[in-house]
Structure 1
Amino acid sequence: MESGSVLKKQFYLEGLCCANCAAKIENKVNELEEIQTANLDFVTKKLTVQIYEKCDAELAQNKIVGIVKNIEDEVKVIDMEQSLEDEEEEEISKADVIRFGIGVLIFIAAYVFKFPKTIDIVLYVVSYVVVGGDVLLRSIKNIGKGQIFDENFLMAVATIGAFAIKEYPEAVSVMIFYQIGEFLQDAAVEKSRKSISALMDIKPQFANLINGEKALKVSPDEVVVGDIILVKPGEKIPLDGIVVEGESMLDTSAVTGESVPRRVEIQGEVFSGSINKEGLLKVEVTKAFKDSTVSKILDLVENASSKKAVTEKFITKFARYYTPSVVGIALLLAIVPPLVIKDAVFSNWIYRALVFLVASCPCAIILSVPLSFFGGIGSASRNGILVKGGNYIEALKNINTVVFDKTGTLTEGKFNVNKIQTYNQFSKDELLKYAAYVESFSNHPIALSICSAYGGNIEKNNITNYKEVSGFGVQAEISGKAVCIGNANFMKQNKIDVSKVNLDEVFGTVVHAAVDNVYAGYIVISDNIKKDTIKAIDELKSIGIKTVMLTGDSKKPASVVASKIGMDEVFSELLPQDKVEKIEEMYSKKPDCKIAFVGDGINDAPVLARADVGISMGSVGSDAAVEASDVVIMNDELHKIYTAIKIAKKTNRVVWQNIIFAVGVKVIVLVLGALGYANIWEAVFADTGVSLIAVVNSLRILRAH
């Protein structure tokens, strides 16, 4: 179907506990003609789909429900727009525990006491049905739906096969320990889900809306821009806003990852998700809840799983062909050797094939890989770093070069006028006044610093023919005089000679000025280096990462700043398009170069998009920064880049530890099973035991910082 506008829908799959089945559901939903894209996050149990608007959304939803029921009959599909106020905990019921316990007791009785053979067999069969009846039932249902190759089928075939070759105790005991392993695995997965969810437990449940003399407790969704809300000590700030009454200390760690409380006073900006620690605050709401910082963070984290890492995609694709292949090999193992090897016994080779089947289930890999990436995203969020997907976690660990914008990234972006030099009978006050008038329409930090230094009233009616030339400067007529403000190249464009101006002792950004084509002088603007810039650069260098600075500043001040903070390379006097060209040049010179670009996410959108990973800094409340970048640092702390790369590297290590461990154990047991040196006990460990260890290993990522 042709691409076009789409409708986004989310469903919660209550009761989903099989990672392999989750991969099958995602694949089948993606095959629907009504669906542009579908992503099923096994960790959060959320299925996100994009339905073509020209299609019948209700029909598409019914097809999705049909697919889920066909693969996992017990899973309930819940439309998240209509319900799911609270996700219910899915715990094993008391009836299931009692049933399982009875089955185990019957097995123990048959195994310990010496009953007649017929009674023994009956007890084993009864125990088997009581303990593993649900596995058999699911297997039969799935076969009827054409869903053959899953863990239920593998366990059913293996244990029934054990009965067929008269290994009765082993058949029942394997089912018992398989069920125990599944329970422990589900418990471990649920613990990891809760641990990750706890990291993102920042959604406010209510807002105290001031209505006359009263404060009404309402849902944050009901509050509109301009309303006044009351935030009491200990409460979460429900919406972004400006303090209109009171002062307090705020715990912003859930939003920015900053552990030190931040003081806020009247006219101070506050962000949803922060916790009011002390005083009573009245806040005027500046953003609706759907546009607030906390909603933005939650949306980014919850949808991060839609951008899967290459490893995740490969594992999902691998599982599709893996299970049918091992079933075929097991079948050959059971039939061929007895036919071609002299004195080979069918029952012996069938047993080996059964071991092969039980050990082959791919759940450990399918389960642990997405869980690891989601854990990495959750850990980064706890540190005030929003990573938009597992693909960017994977890209971050490969970064070998970090390129920085200068102003507002390496420096504070708070400029001050520290020198005014005049020529041709112009006074300093005149020069500053002309510069302030011309710059009064701009929000650029340099323009704001000039206007602030001037301090006088600017009569904008006296400004005409205003024109801004990106990357060069601005010009306008002030009370009939043609004023030109900008860099040396801009002066040359306007035929103003600045070649004899001595700038040897000047450190900072130089803004030249000309009035009626006569050079009036220059203003020097300086910017302070951020307090943690040097530390951040040292940290990056300690893990072998090259650092580069790109700036539009002139060569000398750029070199001074680069030298102070220890940059490996600096490129100055660059226009926005020059920065992209410089990145392209770096790629061409070194094909294995993996670049992260760090900027403000607004002016540097093109270069943020071109780099392997775009990182925006100081972006709390900045919609443009969130849109432009792949990773968002929720405050101005440059060392969080090092933290993000460290979390990415740890995530990658855990992912490959799980893959190597799971595949390694399975290969060993498969080979030993085929050779007759492994039994079904080892096979069960290769399935549920390995899955459990992989899940527990994935939880280590949450401790990364």
Structure 2
Amino acid sequence: MNKEIKKINIKNNIKLEPHNTKHKNASPKLSQSSIKKELILDGLDCASCASKIEDKVSKIEGINSASINFMTKTLTVEIGELNRTNELIAATKNMVQNIEAHVKVREKQTDKIIKRTLMLDGLGCANCAAKIEKESSNLAGVRSISVDFVSQKLNLELVNASNQDAIIEKVKEIVKRIEPDVKVIEIQNKNKASKDEAHEHEHEHSHEHGESNKTEIIKLAVGAAIFAIATALKLPNYLELILYLISYVIVGGEVVLRALKNISRGQVFDENFLMSIATIGAFAIGSYPEGVAVMLFYQLGEIFQGIAVNRSRKSISALMDIRPDFANLKVNDELKKVSPEEVGIGDIIVVKPGEKVPLDGRVIEGNSMVDTSALTGESVPREVGTGDSILGGVINKNGLLTIEVEKEFGDSTVAKILDLVENASSKKAPTENFITKFARYYTPVVVFSAVALAVIPTLVIEGAVFSDWLYRALAFLVVSCPCALVVSIPLGFFGGIGGASKNGILVKGGNYLEALNDVEVVVFDKTGTLTKGVFKVTEVRPQNSISEDELIAYAAYAESYSNHPIATSILKAYGKEIVKDAVENYEEISGHGVKVIFEGREVLAGNYKLMDKEKITYSQVETIGTVVHVAVDKGYAGYIVISDEIKEDSAKAIKALKAMGVKKTVMLTGDNKTVGTKVADKLGLDEVYAELLPDQKVEKVELLFKEKSPKGKIVFVGDGINDAPVLARADIGIAMGGVGSDAAIEAADVVIMTDEPSKIASAIKVAKRTRTIVMQNIIFALGIKAILLVLVALGLGTMWEAVFGDVGVTVLAVLNSMRAMKTKNI
């Protein structure tokens, strides 16, 4: 892409528009006789091709300008001839197809996407959750839907504001039809429940579960007692049958009733149906004790399964217990305890020792140690004082802090982290999606297999007794329930995400966690990722009769309007107050440097490209630092060297990645070749590419995609601000130093909450551990079921083994999934 030049009149603070409005980077004011259209380029993955499309489309007669946002794959065109709008849109689409034939072009929907969230209180069936998601996704006006079994949330994206309430009602009807006992609660307050609402719901939810469990246990105890009497005492057959029936109705009557209701709604193949058919069939062939016993142990197993799932949910929720309960708002020298949502930007809050810092801000008074472990996973407290930035969610240890709030609660780091972790399981891993589809077809296949097992042998095997084969078929049905998989696998992935967050690693979804298992190439940005990003002026080399003080002064005034770390280091080295009225005609030249008029003299400060561009003879310098060349009135004035330190654990991180099987480590940097090569050699990186602009970094990643295997994944690790395009292009984008960086949290798939590159290896370890646990569950559940199905079909297994094959396997798989949260040794 062409290099962007910003021109700003400093004194009047006015942005000057470029004269050539046909320039692709220009943003001319939209005239009354023009219209803007946005086109989505699905499948666009080549930055170079995007640049060509932008250039070619902007040259179509009738189109004033065209610009592409590569990250969002959006082509914006300004059409100057309104009567030819459809014709020019068609011409634009043809142009895109000519350059990139596989790209699909569609007009961007103008409807605003509306997000709504429903709490499905009491949702205990993962299979039913999948059915709710499938049916609701077919409703008109639903853009996307995700039912999160772990957090019991249904997340909706709607494309039409006018009928959103009608869609919500239809979704509620679907939920009630599939799961009548589930209570549907809509979460208000900008799609996020308040702390009080969440606490009240949690309390009510826990209370209801407690009461429900007590009732179920009492019913089971009564049913079991009657069952024991019928089994132990020698009673007449009719009295024995009556006692077994009473016991069965007490223990399993609710299951049969649910099965009948579900059948009337068209929901046939679920665990209620399987258990009802199996146990009623047992009664039909005279196996009364086994009919009651199967239902008794099934219900007991369901209680244990519910307890295990709820324990898992609570453990995961406890990992992110960082939401502040209140804020001490300072009003006229008095403190008022308020909700964090009530505090605005610029308000003053006071945080006492032992309290959580409720919002992001800046310390204006006081010194203290703060515990950041909830955000970063670091156990060592950090010291903060006047002038330091501080994040919501950390705990104030010992001092009194007065803080000026810089972000509202909804935009704060703690709110974004909570939102990410709470909604992470809505982005399902391929394994989860496979198991959901597998369960959809598996149960009907097993049911029909059971029917065949009951009928076919009696027709083809001489002397076969129907009751014997029916018994086998009924036991076959009991084994077949897929609950072990559809419950334990989502819990496994969510446990892995929770365990990672406990270590200061935020993973935005199970899909990204699973993808981390197949990493082949890790690409690093340099500054702020492998290096500290803290620059210091280490050399000042004036030339042509200019003193060191004059050289640093010229450079400081030239960089006075830049917030780049290099500019900050020069200003710090200058150490004097900048009189900004002395600077005029500031120009920031992307990838080159800056040009200003200072006290009537033209000052240039930047890299060698700027000197070449302005045809200024300069000194060639080879050093590990960044070199800023300075010229005054077209005459070379000297250079300044700024050095950046390598992070302590960068070399350890590269070594750990290679030990884990990563095939290639690459560094992409905008810094000069000498610096890049020396840093890469010191860290043991395989390849380094220097002096790159952001779009060139994307091009290098494109080349790496051609080298990897089809299943291999490419990770890009950057700061999440300047590297948004390449973060988006990589299979997995990891933002380093994400604390406090909105751009990092938005652009990346994984956010490392500390500045430690070694956490990348930790994230991969968590991913591998999670996959191991998930695969253990799949192999264990399917293996046990397969063995039992064969044994039962051969007549070597009974209903008792069948109950273990269903309930026992499910409970064990859920308990195994909970291990994913334990990441102490990672």
Q: TM-score range by the shorter chain?
A: over 0.9
Q: Is the 8 Å Cα contact of residues 114 and 161 (structure 2) preserved in structure 1?
A: no
AA of the residue aligned to 1:77: V
Distance in 2 separating the partners of 1:23 and 1:543: 35
- The residue type paired with residue 240 of structure 1 is D
Distance 1:391 1:93, change over 3 A: closer
Match of 2:677 in 1: 559
Structure 1 unaligned spans of 5+: none
Aligned to 2:360: 240
Q: Does 1:329 align with 2:444?
A: no
Question: SS at the partner of 2:755?
Answer: coil
Aligned to 1:77: 184
Which SS does the other structure have where 1:53 is aligned? coil
Offset, 1:52:
2.3
1:525 to 618, 625, 642: 642
Q: Secondary structure at the match of 1:33?
A: coil
Deviation at 1:226, TM superposition (A): 2.0
**1 CA distance for matches of 2:432 and 2:318?**
24
Deviations for 1:282-311, whole angstroms, at most 9, x for unmatched residues?
Answer: 222221111112111100111112211111
Among 663, 671, 678, the residue aligned to 2:782: 663
Q: Where in structure 2 are there 5+ consecutive unaligned residues?
A: 1-107, 190-196
State whether structure 2 residue 48 is matched by structure 1 residue 48: no
The yes-or-no answer on 1:695 pairing with 2:810 is: no
Say yes or no: does 1:577 pair with 2:732: no
Taking the aligned partners of 2:360 and 2:631, their CA distance within structure 1 comes to 44
Tell me if the contact between 1:3 and 1:36 (Cα under 8 Å) persists in the aligned partners: no
**Selected match of 1:33 from 115, 140, 144:** 140
Aligned mates of 1:2, 1:365 — CA distance in 2: 38
Question: CA shift at 1:424, angstroms?
Answer: 2.9
Take 2:516 and 2:460, find their aligned partners in 1: how far apart are those partners?
Answer: 53
- The structure-2 alpha-carbon separation of the partners of 1:276 and 1:459, relative to structure 1 and needing over 3 Å to count, comes to closer
- Match of 2:201, SS state, is coil
Q: How far apart are 1:129 and its partner, in Å?
A: 0.8
Map 1:330-369 onto structure 2 (within 5 A): 330-369=450-489
**Structure 2 residue corresponding to 1:124, chosen from 244, 251, 254:** 244
AA in 2 matched with 1:550: L
* Equivalence map 1:263-412=2 (5 Å): 263-412=383-532
The Cα offsets for residues 610-633 of structure 1, whole Å up to 9 and x where unpaired, read as 111111111211111111111111
Structure 1 equivalent of residue 79 of structure 2: none
Residue 409 of structure 1 aligns to a residue whose secondary structure is coil
Q: Which residue of 2 aligns with 1:613?
A: 732
- Which amino acid in structure 1 is aligned with residue 133 of structure 2? E
In 1, distance between residues paired with 2:412 and 2:109? Answer: 34
**Cα gap change, 1:278 to 1:99, in 2 (>3 Å):** same
Match of 2:369 in 1: 249
Amino acid across the alignment from 1:601: G
What displacement does 1:213 show?
A: 4.1
Cα contact 2:375–2:394 (8 A) shared by 1: yes
Q: CA deviation at 1:578?
A: 1.4
Q: Is the 8 A contact 2:446 2:480 kept in 1?
A: yes
Q: Deviations over 1:108-166 (max 9, x none)?
A: 11111111111111111111111111111111111111111110000000001111111
Residue 45 (structure 2) aligns with: none
> Structure 1 residues 552 and 361, CA, compared in 2 at 3 Å: closer, same or farther?
same
Determine the structure 1 residue equivalent to 2:661.
Answer: 544
Residue aligning to 2:795: 676
Match of 1:15 among 96, 102, 122: 122
Distance 1:281 1:104 in 2: 61
Partner of 2:290: 170
Describe the SS at the equivalent of 2:678. Answer: helix
Stretch moving more, 288-297 or 53-62 = 53-62
Residue 258 of structure 1 aligns to a residue whose secondary structure is coil
Match of 1:203 among 323, 330, 341: 323
Question: Which amino acid letter does the alignment assign opposite residue 247 of structure 2?
Answer: S
Q: Secondary structure at the match of 1:131?
A: helix
Following the alignment from structure 1 to structure 2, what is the Cα–Cα distance between the partners of residues 671 and 473?
Answer: 74
Cα–Cα, structure 1 residues 421 and 61, in superposed 2: closer, same or farther, change >3 Å? same
Range that drifts further, 474-483 or 665-674: 474-483
Q: 1:339 to 1:3 in 2, by over 3 A?
A: farther
Q: What percent of counterpart residues are identical?
A: 58
2:216 maps to a residue whose letter is D
Question: Which position in structure 1 is the counterpart of 2:721?
Answer: 602
Q: Give 1:103 shift.
A: 0.7
TM-score under structure 2 length normalisation:
0.83
Q: CA deviation at 1:544?
A: 2.2
Residue matched to 2:266? 146
Native 8 Å contact 2:769 2:820 kept in 1: yes
Please point out which of 746, 749, 758 is paired with 1:630.
Answer: 749
Are 1:86 and 2:201 an aligned pair? yes
Q: After superposition, where does 1:488-499 map in structure 2 within 5 Å?
A: 488-498=608-618
2:694 corresponds to 1:587? no
Q: Summarize the Cα distance change of 1:487–1:51 in structure 2 as closer, same or farther, 3 Å threshold.
A: same
Q: 1:93 to 1:303 in 2, by over 3 A?
A: closer
Residue pair 1:471, 1:576 contacting (<8 A) in 2 also: no
Deviation at residue 595 of structure 1 after TM alignment: 1.4
> Structure 2 vs 1, CA of residues 660 and 55 (structure 1 numbering), >3 Å: closer, same or farther?
farther
Q: Secondary structure at the match of 1:38?
A: strand
The structural deviation recorded for 1:93 is 4.3
